[in-house]
Structure 1
């Protein structure tokens, strides 16, 4: 099922180029409706939750959560995306080096508890950013190279606090028709990546095919939203 995409590789430089050239069709101008729909399942009444955003881009979801009093840590390779996030939301920020990651910087919002790390996601770790009570993965697992998924799942699992609630958005389509990204992530793979250490609940299945996706050659596009929680030992 995954064979057509198994060897597809996007270099980090390609993502940076997409931001530089504003080829960011993956950026959503609104708060993602799946996050809005399931926010209560993620926070379960907790205040001041630490949210992790892998490959955060300039997602408005981060400000939305911070405005509610949660704290947000994101990782993004594109400096342009991070600066645009703060500028477009009229937020001031400071910039400092990250001692544990050579060449990395962290941008910290002055008005809201938002810290965005500019680095390769795989250089980030719990020793740099701690662990998290929530993770929102909207365009991350579907964006990383398929061959890096085991490494990715290991990183994400290591960032999960015991009470973490991880909301994962995946896409299903015929990979013979489109090479990605975003890449196909079947439910069986979500199970094989996270099922040993976590419980996985499929919250929603939705047909999300648009004219833009038809232009990629797709005949169907299905979005799945999963809630992943550490198994209680």
Structure 2
């Protein structure tokens, strides 16, 4: 991480990316690593409440809702949230969130999906409780590297005692590309979560495409880990 330690993006930069349509991180289909490992996340549970940090307009949210689960997401861009509901053909309402001045929550008419438009670090368990599942795809790799401990503290505060947290990370040579998405080494995952969570490596794939080659990368490995709270 040392090569990227001082790299800082302001939330307004993410908003600009959405406004300008520079959203190469968005995927049109359900993420394969979520599909491949969903049974390990659910462990036979039904009606799980999932949290999506920095959710964008991920189609994964609709996929989980269609399976009978509920989803709460947080996203800085109102445009991303509205596009999600419109593209998924979901009726929704919007209202102000009194506990987070200047923010809104957008809710599907069936109540299964609630997306908060706010700064992630202003969100907390007092707003929407704790969760039985977390899908972190494009979130830990997107936040500023200097904010990782703050981020991990927030995520752990949102984990219910039976929570199963699926974490997607990227490995590449950080000397070749400044990010985002940022390089997250294994030792960072251990340092951030190892004291409170069991960490299990589930899957690792070669994710290098022409897009990353244009960034100057010669390899890109995508990894997913399953984190579960250690018993007290």
User: TM class by shorter-chain length?
Assistant: over 0.9
Structure-2 residue corresponding to 1:150: 149
Output the TM-score relative to the length of structure 2. 0.99
**Shift >4 Å, 4+ stretches:** none
The Cα shift of 1:46 comes to 0.5
Residue 111 of structure 1, CA deviation: 3.2
Q: 1:13 corresponds to which residue?
A: 12
Structure 1 Cα separation of the partners of residues 111 and 119 of structure 2 = 24
Q: Deviations over 1:125-155 (max 9, x none)?
A: 0000100000000000000000000000000
Tell whether 2:107 aligns with 1:108. yes
Mapped partners of 2:220, 2:154: distance in 1: 28
Instruction: Decide whether the 8 Å contact of 1:71 with 1:113 is kept in 2.
Output: yes
Cα distance in 2 for partners of 1:218, 1:97 equals 43
2:124 aligned partner = 125
Alignment-derived partner of residue 98 in structure 2? 99
Q: For the residues of structure 1 that align with 2:168 and 2:154, how far apart are their CA atoms? A: 17
Q: Distance in 2 between matches of 1:56 and 1:112?
A: 17
Q: Any conservation in 2 of the 1:173–1:220 contact (CA below 8 Å)?
A: yes
Q: 1:66, 1:112 within 8 Å by CA — same for their partners in 2?
A: no
**What does residue 231 of structure 1 align with?**
230
Give secondary structure in 2 for the equivalent of 1:175: coil
1:1-233 matched pairs, under 5 angstroms: 2-111=1-110, 113-233=112-232
Measured against aligned partners, the alpha-carbon deviations of 1:56-83 in whole angstroms (never above 9, x if no partner) come to 0000000000001100000000000000
Kept after mapping to 2: 8 A contact 1:67/1:112: no
Moved more, 144-153 or 111-120: 111-120
Query: 3-state SS of the aligned residue for 1:57?
Result: coil
Cα distance in structure 2, aligned partners of 1:40 and 1:8: 36
Q: What's the RMSD between the two structures over aligned residues?
A: 0.6
